Structure 1
Amino acid sequence: MRQWFILFNKEMLEMARNFKWVWVPIAFILIGVMDPITTYYMPQILDSVGGLPEGTVIEMPTPPAPDILMMSIGQYNMFGVLIIVLITMGLIAGERKSGVAGIILVKPVSFSSYITAKWAGGLLLVWVSYFAGLLASWYYVGILFKWIPFGDFIQAFFTYGIWLSFVLTVTIFFNAFFRSPGVVGFASIATVIVLSLVSGSLSHLLEWSPAQIAGYTGEFLSTHSFPEAMLPTTLLAAGGIVLLLIGAILVFRKKELAA
């Protein structure tokens, strides 16, 4: 266990040196507040653009507060996922390519400790950044539109966080396969896109797909209750995370021992 904490602390220090603890939370906060602010000031934005007949009055219906918070979650489904892949696609592949991983593994370091310490470090960064961003979105939705109960916010936060954790674990899995961070990033994004498209097109058949979590989170914010498929979807996503981690360890061990 002491070995694992040493590797975990190394990962925390490395992310601090790369300023990930600064720019990643800031990026998530900017993504989170973008929709509430632009939605609130949209009439003024359109008016300032010009080109409308004189005397034109812009009247736009005010969206419900849950819908606006869901817009922010939708942004995380695009830009948030992209950021997660970018910050994690070189966690292992980069060290393998540079030879750092080989130096570390020459010591009595287990493959499982190495992989899970990397995963835990990335997961902590993602969850802290995601919480800061979604909290900022919830705050702006409250002061500009209407306050969403904090209990609903917390449930939505943890629910959608499972999907982001799944995305991160997919990237860790491909890190074990490939030495090139670029290939890892491409494979991870392609996998997430395909899974989302297939789950969206065949939602009646794949209602337990982890990619459905975003939609179920939005349904909860609107109705204050989760659909029946939410529990098996969560369990399947959690099981997928565990299997991907185990697969990453096995693949990484096989490739490193064969090298």
Structure 2
Amino acid sequence: MSQWMTLLQKEILEMWRNFKWIWVPITFILLGVKEPLSSYYLPQILDAVGGLPEGAVIKLPTPTAAEVLITGLGQYTTLGVLIIVLTTMGIISGERKSGVAAMILVKPVSFQSFVSAKWAGSVLLMWFSFFIGYLSTWYYTGLLFDWIPFIQFLQSFFFYALWLTVILTVTIFFSSSFVNSGMAGFLSLVVVIVLSLVSSTLSNWLEWSPAQLTNYANEVLLDNGIPEDTLPASLIAAVFINVLLSLSVFIFRKKELAQ
């Protein structure tokens, strides 16, 4: 355990040196405040832009607080996913390519500790960034529209964060499989897009898909309670994460020992 904690501390320190603990949370905060502010000031923005016939009146329906939060979460499903992939795709492949991984593994460091410590460090960064970003969405939505109960905020945060953890783990799997970081990132996005499209298209048959967690988080915000399929989907997501991590360690060990 002391070895694993040392590797985790190294990973966290490395992310500090790369300023990830600064720019990733700031980016998520900007994504978080964008939707409530743009939704609230949209009529004024359209009026300032102009181009409408003289005397025209802009009347837009005021969105509910839940709708604003759901739209805000959509930002993390698109741009947030891209940020997660870009910051994670080279976490193992980059060190393999530079030879850093080989130097660390020369010491009595297990492959499992090496991969899992990198995964844990990335998860900490992602959960922290997503929490403060989504918290800013919730806060400004409350100020400008209406307050969503904090317990609903936490529940929707957990389900969304679990899905983002699946995406992060997929990226680490491909990062351990390929030396080329670009290939790892590309394949990660392809898998996530395909899984999301298939799950949404066949939602009646894939109710337990981890990709459905985003929809279940939205249901929580709409005050419809926690859907009954949320627990099975969460458990399958946890199993999926553990299987991918085990495969990441296996493939990484195989490729390193083959060199």
Counterpart-to-counterpart distance in 2, 1:213 and 1:31: 20
| Matched residue, 1:76 | 76
Query: Which structure 1 residue ranges, 5 or more long, are not aligned?
Result: none
| Matched residue, 1:159 | 159
Counterpart-to-counterpart distance in 2, 1:193 and 1:149: 31
Q: Does 2:27 align with 1:27? A: yes
Q: Which amino acid aligns with 2:180?
A: S
Residues 141-156 of structure 1 aligned to structure 2 (within 5 Å): 141-156=141-156
Deviation at 1:29, TM superposition (A): 0.5
Counterpart-to-counterpart distance in 1, 2:172 and 2:53: 54
| Cα contact 1:152–1:224 (8 A) shared by 2 | no
Deviation at 1:226, TM superposition (A): 1.6
SS at match of 2:31: helix
Residues 49-198 of structure 1 aligned to structure 2 (within 5 Å): 49-198=49-198
Deviations 1:36-75 (A, max 9, x none): 1101001011111111122222111111101100111111
Counterpart-to-counterpart distance in 2, 1:54 and 1:185: 50
Q: Which amino acid aligns with 1:63?
A: P
| Matched residue, 1:43 | 43
Identity of aligned residues (%): 59
Q: Which amino acid aligns with 2:187?
A: A
Q: Which amino acid aligns with 1:199?
A: S
SS at match of 1:204: coil
Counterpart-to-counterpart distance in 1, 2:159 and 2:220: 10
- Superposition RMSD on alpha carbons, in Å? 0.8
Q: Which amino acid aligns with 1:6?
A: T
TM-score, L = length of structure 2: 0.98
Counterpart-to-counterpart distance in 2, 1:160 and 1:42: 27
Counterpart-to-counterpart distance in 1, 2:224 and 2:158: 15
Q: Does 2:6 align with 1:6? A: yes
Deviations 1:15-37 (A, max 9, x none): 00010000000000011111111
| Cα contact 1:93–1:181 (8 A) shared by 2 | yes
TM-score, L = length of structure 1: 0.98
| Matched residue, 1:237 | 237
Q: Which amino acid aligns with 2:143?
A: I
SS at match of 2:34: helix
Counterpart-to-counterpart distance in 2, 1:212 and 1:159: 9
Detail structure 1 runs of 4+ shifted over 4 Å in the superposition: none
SS at match of 1:56: coil
Counterpart-to-counterpart distance in 1, 2:212 and 2:20: 29
Counterpart-to-counterpart distance in 1, 2:251 and 2:195: 22
Q: Which amino acid aligns with 1:39?
A: S
Counterpart-to-counterpart distance in 2, 1:223 and 1:125: 29
Q: Which amino acid aligns with 1:244?
A: L
Deviation at 1:223, TM superposition (A): 2.6
Counterpart-to-counterpart distance in 2, 1:167 and 1:203: 19
Query: Which structure 2 residue ranges, 5 or more long, are not aligned?
Result: none
Deviation at 1:197, TM superposition (A): 0.8
Counterpart-to-counterpart distance in 2, 1:56 and 1:83: 40
SS at match of 2:222: helix
Counterpart-to-counterpart distance in 2, 1:155 and 1:23: 26
